[in-house]
Amino acid sequence: ALIALLRWRPKALVFIEQTSNLHLVMLARMLGVKVVIANVSLTEYRAGKYRRRPFGSKRFKLADLVLAVGEEHRQRLLDLGVHPDRILVTGPPVPPPPKEQDRERWSTEWRQRFGIRNGEPVIVAGSTYPEEEGVLLEAFRRVKQVAPDAKLVLAPRHTSREDLDQVVRQSGLEYELRSRLNGKPAQADVILLDTQGELSHVWGTATVAFVGGSLMRRGPGHSPLEPLSWCVPVTMGPSFEQQTAAVNLCKEWGIVQICTDPAVLAETWLAASQNQEYRRAFSERCEEFLTHGSKVYERWWQAICNE
């Protein structure tokens, strides 16, 4: 990065969310290169950590422009001492949906790997913590009482944890590990995604999704925008401090459901799985949302290029 700055003298140096590379920031300023930090989502907890560190707030105060995802994040930046003229609220960026041909290919490929037949309801719970997996399995058990052919794909946030399958094993539900399928279709009702880098495609198999890290206050939580890029109905818990701007935007559009216990989760999953008219209307609304959300990148570009 240092060599690129010295050789190419770019118009702007853009960091995503934050930067600890203060040497790059200082060099860019010396060279007259605009420093931008985009997609800043700053929780009160993280802002407190920056305030306590000697150079914590410098990562934002030295930037020429900070693009925040929401008003509450702008206020925390102000509290850190960032000049108000250097902060712009752009909203949360929405990932572009997969191309139609890729969407079909990936969805078909993963459905075959997981042994999912046409018409079978599939719940994908992604980036989950062990504290919430018991709730999800109980909700799935309730779904099975009404829809016995339903399947659950459970994707833990940390695939390296020692107790990866402990909660599923204790539930008594039959399960298979993704890493041990060896090219054969899964036979169990629960598939444990114990591999990395595949969740972004596995969302495409879902009839309805659950976003992990939201049933308890722990960790940053997962963004609902990733499964929504597949136009999949999304459920999540009531804890989403790190994702406040994205979740509030989704709630305004009516494309995310907040659930607090197994009974509500099961009811919501069944409603999304069994009502074709609901899914059709949801898909249309979500497509409109994705088109609208992609304009955030245009606002980034305009802000970066604006002298």
pLDDT digits (tens), the chain, 307 positions: 788 899 999 999 999 998 888 999 999 999 999 999 999 999 898 899 999 988 889 989 999 999 999 999 999 999 999 999 999 999 999 988 888 888 899 999 999 999 999 999 999 999 999 999 999 999 999 999 999 999 999 999 998 887 778 888 889 899 999 999 988 999 999 999 999 999 999 999 999 999 999 998 776 678 999 999 999 999 999 999 888 999 999 999 999 999 999 999 999 999 999 999 999 999 999 999 999 988 999 999 999 998 6
Task: Report domain extents, the chain.
Answer: 2-89, 100-292
Q: Does domain 100-292 have CATH number 3.40.50.2000?
A: yes
Q: Which residues of 42-67 are buried (b: 16+ CB within 10 A; e: fewer)?
A: bbeebbeebeeeeebbbbbebbbbbb
Give me the phi and psi of 167, to 5 degrees please. -65, -40
The C-alpha atoms of residue 95 and residue 114 are separated, in whole angstroms, by 25
* Collapsed DSSP state (helix, strand, coil) of residue 200: helix
* Residue among 226, 256, 263, 225 nearest 238 (CA): 256
CATH superfamily of 2-89: Glycogen Phosphorylase B; (3.40.50.2000)
The C-alpha atoms of residue 280 and residue 258 are separated, in whole angstroms, by 20
100-292 matches 2-89 in CATH topology: yes
Q: Give pTM, 2 decimals.
A: 0.88
